């Protein structure tokens, strides 16, 4: 029977989950996969954490150099997170000819091209199923199940923290601040939640997924990003009245040589499958030209789901005759002739507060009409001399919406645009 000696760099939540699966399912994996996976070395600066998992002290590595020099170790798992020192450690392993499995979406989105070049130089593989959507096998599906298709779009809820917050705001009427506090208390959100609530985490994942889906580099710097911090209880309520729920969506679309990639709060029709994805769950909705619509759903984070994806990559890498590399020119840039769009077409929800006086609504309508923005629906609510007007537009260019909003805000100051949220069609 084949034996694969594994090293784990970082034995926190995800690394610990990976260790548990490899040890508790060792016999199961031998029986079903024909491979004996053995965790030979663990690298973590916290020895107490290593002991807490029942790992023998003899398995504690003193440095990454010790792992790189160990010729018996053929595969290394990185679950440290962040860019450095993870990047340097991974490069060391790849150059030593060891396959690397990682869950590090920030690192992959920022340095995928250079890491893959290093992997090729060392004759090793780089695998990252666990970097996107936790235990949901979306990367493997894009790489190995949907090759017959041109992928038209990939739309997903790919951050569990923001989905939990928005679910609480929708179902229990919580404010953003209260929902965030609860998410932090339960461990869904970090003490500093910026990466999640401002959309950075989702933009890293969308960069990876859209690159795989559209077979060209889609740099994370090209992803339009907007977080959920401006979403209010009023927006949530109005979405419901109009037949929608609000989700933070990651949206990637390709039409011939034009790609759009964006992360932002979105009005999702209640009839859409993504509307029912609640709590910390994730889902990705994929459309291919022959397969049509597919949805991948499951837990997007946590020790066990992410550990499951990591072990999947460990098994996958160990069974390959040669490493798997990108099927496109992975040089960190979109291929020549491909345009990354900066203007989008869609419907928009626009919330404006105004003085409740004759002619105000007509004036706003004139501004929108002048800027090619057509109104599909509006709801007006007044109180104490002020009125809140909620517009839902027909499909139009975002640049036209922005121009209309700028004109409204530049006028007397009596009208204030409270929020603009895009609508999924």
Is the CB of residue 263 less than 8 Å from the CB of residue 206? yes
Instruction: Output the six-digit token pair for 337.
Output: 């002739």
CA distance 310 to 14: 9
205 is catalytic: yes
Phi, psi of 6 (to 5 degrees): -115, 145
Nearest to 44 by CA among 32, 36, 52: 52
How many CA atoms lie less than 13 Å away from 340 in the CB half-sphere?
20
DSSP secondary structure code for residue 359 in this structure: T
Is the CB of residue 340 less than 8 Å from the CB of residue 261? yes
SS3 for 325? coil
Residue with tokens 């790919």: 158
Sequence-ordered strand ranges (E) for 149-199 = 151-157
CA distance 171 to 186: 18
Burial 52-85 (b: 16+ CB within 10 A, else e): ebebeeeebbeebeebbebeebbbbbbbbbeeee
DSSP secondary structure code for residue 368 in this structure: H
Is the CB of residue 105 less than 8 Å from the CB of residue 212? no
Integer CA distances (angstroms), 235 to 173, 241, 358, 382, in order: 11, 10, 25, 16
Instruction: Output the six-digit token pair for 80.
Output: 């440290």
Nearest to 127 by CA among 304, 301, 316, 307: 316
Which of these is catalytic: 205, 247, 253, 347? 205
Q: Please state whether the peptide bond connecting residue 85 to the residue before it is cis, i.e. omega within 30 degrees of 0.
A: yes
Integer CA distances (angstroms), 270 to 82, 138, 173, 241, in order: 36, 24, 17, 11
Bridge-based pairing of strands 35-43 and 2-9 is: parallel
Nearest to 46 by CA among 32, 61, 33, 30: 61
CA distance 89 to 87: 5
Q: Which residues are catalytic?
A: 205
């Amino acid at each position: 029977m084949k034996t694969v000696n594994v090293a784990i760099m970082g034995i926190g939540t995800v690394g610990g989950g990976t260790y548990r699966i490899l040890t508790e399912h060792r016999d199961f994996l031998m029986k079903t996969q024909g491979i004996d996976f053995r965790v030979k070395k663990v690298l973590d600066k916290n020895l107490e954490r290593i002991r807490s998992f029942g790992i023998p002290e003899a398995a504690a590595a003193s440095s990454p150099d010790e792992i790189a020099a160990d010729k018996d170790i053929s595969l290394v798992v990185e679950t440290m997170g962040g860019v450095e020192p993870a990047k340097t450690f991974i490069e060391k392993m790849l150059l030593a000819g060891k396959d690397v499995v990682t869950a590090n979406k920030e690192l992959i989105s920022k340095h995928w091209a250079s890491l893959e070049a290093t992997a090729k130089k060392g004759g090793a593989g780089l695998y990252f199923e666990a970097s996107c959507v936790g235990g949901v096998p979306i990367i493997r599906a894009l790489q190995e199940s949907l090759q017959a298709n041109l992928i038209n779009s990939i739309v997903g809820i790919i951050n569990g923290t923001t989905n939990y917050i928005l679910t609480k705001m929708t179902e229990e009427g919580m404010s953003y601040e209260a929902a965030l506090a609860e998410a932090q208390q339960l461990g869904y959100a970090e003490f500093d939640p910026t990466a999640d609530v401002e959309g950075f985490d989702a933009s890293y994942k969308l960069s990876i997924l859209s690159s795989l889906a559209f077979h060209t580099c889609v740099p994370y710097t090209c992803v339009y990003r907007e977080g959920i911090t401006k979403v209010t209880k009023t927006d949530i309520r109005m979405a419901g009245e109009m037949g929608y729920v609000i989700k933070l969506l990651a949206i990637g679309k390709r039409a011939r040589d034009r790609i759009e990639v964006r992360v932002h709060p979105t009005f999702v029709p209640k009839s859409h499958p993504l509307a029912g994805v609640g709590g910390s769950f994730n889902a990705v909705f994929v459309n291919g030209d022959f397969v049509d619509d597919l949805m991948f759903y499951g837990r997007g984070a946590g020790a066990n789901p992410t550990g499951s994806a990591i072990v999947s990559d460990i098994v996958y890498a160990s069974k390959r005759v040669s490493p798997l590399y990108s099927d496109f020119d992975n040089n960190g840039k979109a291929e020549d002739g491909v345009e990354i769009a900066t203007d989008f077409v869609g419907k928009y929800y626009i919330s404006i507060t105004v003085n409740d006086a004759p002619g105000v609504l007509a004036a706003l309508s004139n501004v929108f009409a002048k800027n090619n923005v057509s109104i599909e629906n509006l709801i007006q609510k007044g109180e104490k001399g002020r009125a809140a007007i909620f517009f839902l537009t027909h499909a139009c260019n975002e640049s036209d919406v922005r121009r209309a909003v700028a004109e409204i805000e530049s006028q007397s100051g009596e009208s204030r645009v409270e929020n603009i949220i895009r609508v999924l069609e």
